[in-house]
Amino acid sequence: AQSVAQPEDQVNVAEGNPLTVKCTYSVSGNPYLFWYVQYPNRGLQFLLKYITGDNLVKGSYGFEAEFNKSQTSFHLKKPSALVSDSALYFCAVRERVGGKLIFGQGTELSVKP
């Protein structure tokens, strides 16, 4: 069965510092991986995806993610955090059969001035 794990419930970062939000996955075959962001009382916004190709994927709002097949990870990164980046972040993997997305439990990112 496919699954995704976000090992940190919360990540705290100072504004201007780099940020990393971790995600590991378990799938059979090649994974299709996604990152979403959710602001309070809002729907999820799509940030980026890895389907194939370069291991470093660039997305919206300056975010990027690095696909690492040997470590089965897909960590979300940003070189310089903004206070406005504070939100809930979800990692997801697409099921091979049926195409549904399996979401992690989310990581709360808090960026302090």
Partner 1 sequence: SQTIHQWPATLVQPVGSPLSLECTVEGTSNPNLYWYRQAAGRGLQLLFYSVGIGQISSEVPQNLSASRPQDRQFILSSKKLLLSDSGFYLCAWSVRTGWYEQYFGPGTRLTVT
Residue of 26, 100, 110, 112 that binds partner 1 (CB under 8 A): 100
Residue of 51, 55, 84, 112 that binds partner 1 (CB under 8 A): 51
Task: Report CA dihedral (12, 18, 56, 65) to the nearest 10 degrees.
Answer: 20
For 54, residues 6+ apart whose C-beta sits below 8 A from its C-beta are none
CA 1 to chain centre: 20
Should residue 101 be labelled a site residue for partner 1 when binding is judged by CB under 8 A? yes
Alpha-carbon gap, residue 113 to 96, rounded angstroms: 42
Q: Which is nearer to partner 1, 82 or 88 (by Cβ)?
A: 88
Should residue 105 be labelled a site residue for partner 1 when binding is judged by CB under 8 A? yes
Residues 22-41 that bind partner 1 (CB under 8 A): 32, 34, 36, 40-41
Residues making contact with partner 1 (CB under 8 A): 32, 34, 36, 40-46, 49, 51, 88, 90, 94, 99-101, 103, 105-106
